[in-house]
Structure 1
Amino acid sequence: MSDMLLTAYNGAILGPIAKVLGWVMNGIYALMSMIGIENVGLSIIIFTIVIYAILFPLTYKQQKFSKLSQKMQPELQAIQKKYNGKKDQASMMAMQEETQAVYEKYGVSMMGSCVQMLIQMPLLFALYRVFLNVPAYVSGVKNNFSTLVDGIMATSGYQDKMTQLVTDLRVMTTPAADFTVSDPTALSNSIVDVLYKMNSAGWENLKSAFPSLTDTINATYDTVSHVNNFLGLNISDTPWQVMTTNFASHNFLFVVLALLVPVISYLTQVLNIKLMPQAAPSNGNSDNDMAAQQMKMMNRTMPIFSFVMCFTVPVGLGIYWIAGAVVRSVQQFFLNKHFEKINLEDIIKKNQEKAKKKREKMGIAENQISNAAKINTRKIDEPKKEEKKSNMSEAQRELELEKANAAKSKAKAGSMAAKANMVRDFNEKNSRK
């Protein structure tokens, strides 16, 4: 198993994740082989379904947050409007506290779906690495090349011939094929990487480079073509290669099949975006308007990017993109139906209870939060009162004093105001003496 992983992606973060996913992919291919089905394209589809099924709990949490965000948006926008243009520390603190209070009210974190995205993205990128170099992770596929690789390595000067083939065919492997190393296992893996990435025309070049191995090359090509065949297409070929070679030989059916890969990829991406929850209106908030425009632009460009890229990447990757978009669309359809039926108020209450219990575990009681909020509010309000007093003119102060004296003169006998008047009269008489 260890030598199988020598040509696997060795990135510090994605490398270990890709190896784990590779074991899963290898297991799926082995199970299918046991029932007589050896097909990489079908394995990719099943593997994609399995991975998205595993990620579904994260997807559900992300979608639930999106729904709650839509419900919170009017309140958050009201707070933003209230403090729009205020850059002083007191206003910024008040805005932050009020925003936090809204999130606590709905029982969600301000980080939102970021955690889910941080978990999902490395998995999906690592999945891409597995599909980019299947033999490095799936031993059943790699074993199909064993006899041919042994024959190539037994041929004198094979390193130079393989290097020339890589240059002529412009074969790109990850990591780059290296025929100068002394380790036989590493050399064998480099040859497998090149053979797997070669298109149909490249195998003819291989026979020219190794004429003594023609029968072995033909047998290996037939086996690999069967394993890599998906609806008549070799998943190692790019749609553009299939279209150009078959158009020249007037095999227009294969031209149409190859063209369908980028077209279906584009359509499934569009469908997936259409089913995704849309952002709530921003009500004139410029930051939200900019974010909405950026999201709208991304939604337009991503399907186009998928369409263009599918012409130049192997059909296998196109199948992965299509399968992923279809699975996400199916998930999203049922999630939309689910969230239409559920009562968000119940979810909010449950989230509030969870948040309350979490705070209690941390030793934060509800009355502490309430008192802290009152103290912060008083700190914010006190400077405003002082500022109001300092801005009052001398005439305004005299008028306020006159009003106060008039009110006191009308005080009822025995009241606190009447007693205050008596003290004031006594002080005035003593001051005149």
Structure 2
Amino acid sequence: MVGFHKAFTAIGMPAASGWTWALSIVGLVIVLRILLIPLFVKQIKSSRRMQLIQPEIQKIQKKYKGKKDAESRQKMTEETMELYKKTGTNPFSSCMPILLQSPFFFALFRVLDRLKDIGHGTHHPIGVMTRSLAAQAESSTLFGVKLSSAFLHPGDSPVGATRTLCIALIIIMSVTVFTTQHQLMRKNMPASALDNPLAKQQKYIMYIMPVFFAISGVNFPIGVLLYWVTTNLWTMGQQFYTIRRMPAPGSEAERALEERRKAKGKPITKLSIPGLHSHDDEAADTSAVELAKSKTPPGSPGLVTADGGTAGKSGGQRVQPKRNKKRKR
């Protein structure tokens, strides 16, 4: 954040302006989210894998349904973990971007919450945020409101302007997080997955997160609210791009992508996981065809395959039927 402040000051922006510090916070968020893109890609792949193995997990749960003894629960857990291991799926990897972003959020909250104390010398400087920079950032204003002011703690800022700006930022935060979850459930989840626990969890998040932002946002300084607005906007745009280019299997977004690829004459590929399905069915099908071939008499048309060919050996010629002579008494 201090680095962006120096860069904006170097190009002529006022050092003590609230807009300079606000853009510095935005720059901090953008750099942080760019660094988290590799983890976001892993999160997407893990989410796709979790969606693809849901039928297999449901089979395991159905297998042990109604069995409440400890041995059955242990076997169900072991089979589920074996499925995760076989398919290379990590159910906890989707939480990594949020967990890695949390230390930066709490660090920024701590800095902005203690700008006044740092500037007045009642608290030690934090990192490169010296006392002079802290005093400058604390005195800077955005629409007449200090970046360290909050809805419940306006400080020296005008109460009306502070609360108006806070409410506006909280509304933007709530709308962006609701829109992100809504487009995820509406376009990027297959119909079969809307009844599983993961879909219900996403639905709860869609309604709970705006309430969480509304309740907790009244305690956040303006600078922290700017942080959350920026990261929510980034998340919404990033997810919109992901749903359009990397949709979930069986979802409405995948069908829309296939339509676009068909219109452009591009090949359509389906996402699959090595090791998800056993080869027992394929082996059984192959054995059935081979058995039919071995039992087909020479010269007979043979089995008709899916591509219109024959599985038996016919020699390429049509065999004429022979008339059986009746025995005379």
Fold shared, TM-score > 0.5 on shorter chain: yes
Q: Which has the higher helix share?
A: 1
SS at match of 1:348: coil
Amino acid at match of 2:172: I
Q: What are the Cα deviations for residues 52-94 of structure 1, in whole angstroms up to 9, with x where unaligned?
A: 1111111121122222222221221122112212356875576
Q: What are the Cα deviations for residues 293-328 of structure 1, in whole angstroms up to 9, with x where unaligned?
A: 555334322211212322232111111111111111
Shift in alpha-carbon separation, 1:72–1:46, aligned structure 2, 3 A: same
Look up the match of 2:181.
273
Q: 1:236·1:316 contact (CA, 8 Å) conserved in 2?
A: yes
Shift of 1:224: 4.5
Matches of 1:50 and 1:309, distance apart in 2: 25
Shift in alpha-carbon separation, 1:296–1:241, aligned structure 2, 3 A: same
Q: 1:73·1:280 contact (CA, 8 Å) conserved in 2?
A: no
Q: 1:240·1:258 contact (CA, 8 Å) conserved in 2?
A: no
Matches of 2:184 and 2:12, distance apart in 1: 39
1:236 aligns with 2:148: yes
CA RMSD of aligned residues (A): 4.5
One of 259, 281, 299 as aligned partner of 2:206: 299
Higher relative CO (Cα under 8 Å, sequence separation at least 6) belongs to: 1
Matches of 1:313 and 1:75, distance apart in 2: 44
* Structure (1 or 2) with the larger CA radius of gyration: 1
Amino acid at match of 1:69: M
Shift of 1:241: 5.3
Look up the match of 1:32.
8
Matches of 1:347 and 1:299, distance apart in 2: 29
Look up the match of 2:300.
none
Matches of 2:56 and 2:149, distance apart in 1: 53
Look up the match of 2:23.
42
Look up the match of 1:326.
233
> Which residues of structure 2 form unaligned runs of 5+?
248-256, 259-267, 281-329
Q: 1:41·1:229 contact (CA, 8 Å) conserved in 2?
A: no
Task: Name the TM-score, length of structure 2 as normaliser.
Answer: 0.59
Q: 1:270·1:303 contact (CA, 8 Å) conserved in 2?
A: yes
Task: Name the TM-score, length of structure 1 as normaliser.
Answer: 0.47
Q: What are the Cα deviations for residues 163-188 of structure 1, in whole angstroms up to 9, with x where unaligned?
A: xxxxxxxxxxxxxx46xxxxxx78xx
1:338 aligns with 2:245: yes
1:127 aligns with 2:105: yes
Look up the match of 1:108.
88
Shift in alpha-carbon separation, 1:28–1:293, aligned structure 2, 3 A: same
Shift in alpha-carbon separation, 1:310–1:303, aligned structure 2, 3 A: same
Q: 1:45·1:319 contact (CA, 8 Å) conserved in 2?
A: yes
Q: 1:238·1:312 contact (CA, 8 Å) conserved in 2?
A: yes
Matches of 2:166 and 2:97, distance apart in 1: 34
Aligned-residue identity in percent: 24
> Which residues of structure 1 form unaligned runs of 5+?
1-24, 154-176, 179-184, 197-219, 356-365, 371-433
